[in-house]
Structure 1
Amino acid sequence: MSDTQRRRRRRPIGTWPAVGLTVAVLVAANLAVHRWTGLFGSFGLVTAVAVSALLLGVLRWAGGTRADAGLAPGTLARGARWALALIGLVAVVYLAGALLPATRTLFEDRRYEGMNGSELTMRVLVLVPVGTVLVEEIAFRGVLYGLVCRARGAAWATTVSSVLFGLWHVLPSLHLATAKPALTTVFGDSALGGALAVLSAVLFTAAAGVLFCELRRRSGSLLAPMGLHWAVNALGYLVGFLLR
């Protein structure tokens, strides 16, 4: 067997078909979790794990490596150090925000009403790291970023990944304006206010995606954006729960 034939066997699909397949899987997963079963159902966790494994398979099918996904063994220690530093930074910022009266209201969320300690623990230690961080980081800063970066470079990879990351948050943002009192004050509770809240969430998460991609690029590891992503979400739940 020639070298050309071996390469074809290892890479049966091209980069852009792999990107299209990845997007199709993410659209189906987004609908499954947010429209059919609810974000925090057990099916959501199963979906997150299955989608993460499937997308890594797509990357491999396109000839990608663990390094393309930001999971090369040699980068994990460096990525872990970045992650710990970023978690500490978010903790300090959130602590300051919780102590200052001017920013304390930003943590208010009606979804915390009736939540108990065990539910909070489940969110912080299971649902956020598995149902949110794992699947989103593997999808957007791992597979999509890795595929596009190989074809067009880091700038294109950051743009594609971040735009799609913003669009990924359309469905979970549909009731955001009414769930958070601080946003209700800004946008109101009308249909227009709800639409503006969704648009703002999409733009904000797209901008956050740019930051996550840059962390991935600078650290060389997916663990860096994973750490920041977990800290922003999980510590936000923790502070909001304690301040309710």
Structure 2
Amino acid sequence: MNTDEFPIELLKFRRLWILTPLAQIGIIATLYVLTTLLFARGFRLTGNMLGGPPEVWILFVPITEEILFRGFILGALERAYGAIWAIVISSALFGLWHLKNTFWMTDDDLESQILYTALVFGPITAALALKLRTVWLGVILHYLNNFPTELMPPLGHWL
């Protein structure tokens, strides 16, 4: 890797199969809008966002977490320790990051989320970021991964 590009190399949009950079931006924007509409619907019905007070920043979580963990942290760890250790360490840190949800999740749900993010979702998106040399597919997957959480309470009220 060209050291002049570090640490932003993984933040560049790249063509992924048939997805041009513009198509990726369009998908991310569409998922952001859908997420916002689902959260707004849930808030109108319950007065909460994911069981807590409304916070707009949560709409940007897939983008900010992927840039932080699969862009900067993974990229720095890959450079220092190689791909495998970078995936392991960044995924463990990503799991620990979810301790922040302790304020509105039950202990069992929190434990499940930490294990899932550290052992399943984190390694998958980290491996994809290193293979594809971009975080943006991970952003798309992150929005899709979070969709069931955002969809279920509003969907329950629609049925």
The one of the two structures with greater contact order (alpha-carbon pairs below 8 A, sep at least 6) is: 2
Aligned equivalents of 1:222, 1:232: Cα separation in 2: 15
Report what 1:199 is aligned to. 111
Structure 1 residue 114: Cα displacement? 6.4
Counterparts of 1:151-170 in structure 2, within 5 Å, are: 151-170=80-99
Name the residue aligned to 2:32: none
Kept in 1, the 8 Å contact 2:11–2:67? The answer is: no
TM-score, length basis structure 1 = 0.45
Aligned to 1:57: none
Q: Hey, what's the Cα distance between the residues in 2 that align with 1:210 and 1:80?
A: 24
Structure with bigger helix share is 1
What is the aligned length?
132
**How far apart, CA to CA, are the structure 2 residues paired with 1:114 and 1:226?**
22
2:6 is aligned, of 42, 64, 67, to: 64
Corresponding residue for 1:138? 67
* CA separation of 1:149 and 1:80: change in aligned 2, threshold 3 A: farther
Higher CA-based Rg: 1
What is the TM-score with the length of structure 2 in the denominator?
0.66
> What stretches of structure 1 of length at least 5 have no aligned partner?
1-10, 12-59, 88-110, 121-125, 178-193
Q: Which residue of 2 aligns with 1:220?
A: 133
Q: Which amino acid aligns with 1:115?
A: F
Paired residue for 1:78?
A: 16
Q: Which runs of 5+ in 2 are unaligned?
A: 28-38, 50-55
Percent identity over paired residues: 28
Contact 1:141 1:212 in 2 (8 A): yes
